[in-house]
Copies of this chain bind each other. A is one copy, B any other.
């Protein structure tokens, strides 16, 4: 199996689309925002990405059928505005796979004439707040300046991990500019409030309108599904510790 398998259902013709990345991360802020944007805009899936860099698992859906974990690309256009949305179940599970997946995403983006990206995520502050701030980082000073009017806090602030960071860091080397929007979040909860804050800023930037009503419920659904899988995983781990059928990868042995 190739490292990354891109399965095109369709190839959208776009002249100047903006790409939005909403993959799972801290507080699930990026994923919630991306999934909600997708649902509300009714964007159309045009490609699926499968990879051995994603966890080796299928989800069981409501109708009893299975779905292999993946990332999905969607397109949307109206009145000359064009968007590509990247959503997914997981990010790459090893550091180097993060790089490979980001590069392949950029290949696709460049092929579809993307020149600007917005990557969405959370920034953990340990605080629970009713009006989460939105932090930002960008690929150039002029982009920082351009976004000053949107109530985004740009400041020196540690690091951005995973796809939200790499798409910018690798993108700028390939002439794609980008901004990362990070919603302030506690860090320990699935945070619909923070996702809403990020979406409010993003939709102003993009000039699109999105109803936020369903976001709270989506957060609850997501939390429930994650909790289920989380429980299964810890069950498995306890079971394996007991029976000694263990993970070689994280263990030492004779040497």
Q: Which residues of A contact B (CB under 8 A)?
A: 1, 7, 23-28, 50, 52-69, 90-100, 102-103, 121, 123-124, 126, 136-141, 144, 154-166, 168-170, 172-173, 180, 187-190, 223, 225-255
Contacts and interface: CB of A to CB of B under 8 A. Distances in A.
B239 A227 contact: no
Chain A contact residues: helix, strand, loop or mixed: mixed
Contact of A244 (B168, B226, B239): B226
B159 A59 contact: yes
A64 B252 contact: no
Contacts of A92: 56, 255
A255 B34 CA distance: 14
Contacts of A123: 232
B243 A61 contact: no
A20 B122 CA distance: 39
B26 A64 contact: no
A188 to B, nearest CB: 5
A58 B138 CA distance: 11
